[in-house]
Structure 1
């Protein structure tokens, strides 16, 4: 290896190391700043990864040109440095993965590294996501409307006033007069959304998860299609789309993450933001924490009836209690995450 080539290799390695250090500092600064958009953080992570790849390639080229004696003398140091860098990157990747899998609320609220809620999530520029949000806001309305038309609100109201709601079977509240219209509209919504996500995967953060969820839901709603007497099951579970609508509306109608009645926020937007937020929290509590656990009791009773009728617990309705338990578990987890992050954020704002 000539002296000129060795000096050139050394300069290349030094420059690559400076690039890695600069990328790491920029990445740490972006992570520390809570206002940095998610897209910028992701791009900086990618810059850091690419810088590390360049450094590794430069060091590899330099090492290949060293003599065997030089290589063996530096082997321990090089391996130690590489191991430390790999461990650092692996730790960051693991932390990032855990944070991404932590909770649904991180997609809709500004959550810092300590899992403190800092307010509404300020959305970065993403036209595909915005179009998809508005598609959901429009497409979910007929699904919700047709679902509500299948329920006898009078029976529900009387039972609520007489405090006999727990004695009143949810099956009796379901008349299903427009069930076919409701079923086909729901199917059309999920099929269109599946196609949308497949064509424009950037419209959601986790397209694979969304597609699996939609495919499972499509399979699930075929139970009441095959057994219309269980149409109430689909209607009861799909009532959660009311909360989903407000969840999406919070993001689509407040992309800047403004707080109601603060400086620079108009009165109309403050009223609208407050109304949507109130409806979101109210529907979250009523549907996810009251109706869904109550439905588990009803669904279990129906499964027992079906088991006695067919003579085996392994029947078409057997999957429904299991699925309902999964839904309840997720709803409770997300609620605890929501409360925990809000309490942490409130304590931070008070300087505790």
Structure 2
């Protein structure tokens, strides 16, 4: 075998090796494959495995088969009251029809994301524009996300894209509306505080009135009981005086006169102008007439004198 033949065989072997290398491709679980023949779609491979193609005539385009996450942040929308607030949303999508995706978008994921984002903006405005801001924060939030997803699916189906789900992560008021909302909330809280304060003042006034009434009633009852006890004491005192007076009227008169002398003349500097024969000095006169050696006008046994006579007002 001459050198020319060897060269030809080597060239054929190289061409065969290159042709074999270019005749197969592998599809994994994360992708689908579009087999293009001279630029046109020949077939779609959706199952993973080893496949063959025509060398030099067929080309393979891999399409991502996983769920893609497209974020749409800081989207301005208006509620039913024309208040502007900001929404952050997440779109979960996957390529459902690789052939349609290639025909409509040229298998360009960036272009697909832009088309879906534009439709998402319209769905957000339409859905949120029929509701108030409070609805976006209530249990109606789930219904709103389902409405947005269904509207988005209509557009995505024409692009060969499946919308798995749409989630709204954040719903915030814009800066201007947020400031107005804070002021309104502050006014409402101040009004509520004033109402609570007024109720407290009313309760305080009512409790003070009830307390004053209770004190007045108790004082009146105490005064009543004191008057009753004082009357009973006066009656008992008068009874004791009467009993003592009945036992020895002369000594009782003498004892009361002594008390009157002590009260009237006990303080120094007291001046009294009375007639010498006044009844007030009756016992003094009796002492003078009797003389210094005369016995006391009355001899009363100790048993006849009351043990603790109650003080009384001097008789005239």
- The structure where strand makes up a greater share of residues is 2
TM-score higher than 0.5: no
- The structure where helix makes up a greater share of residues is 1
TM-score interval, smaller chain: under 0.3
Task: Report 1 or 2 for greater relative contact order, CA contacts < 8 Å, sequence distance ≥ 6.
Answer: 1
TM-score using structure 1 length: 0.18
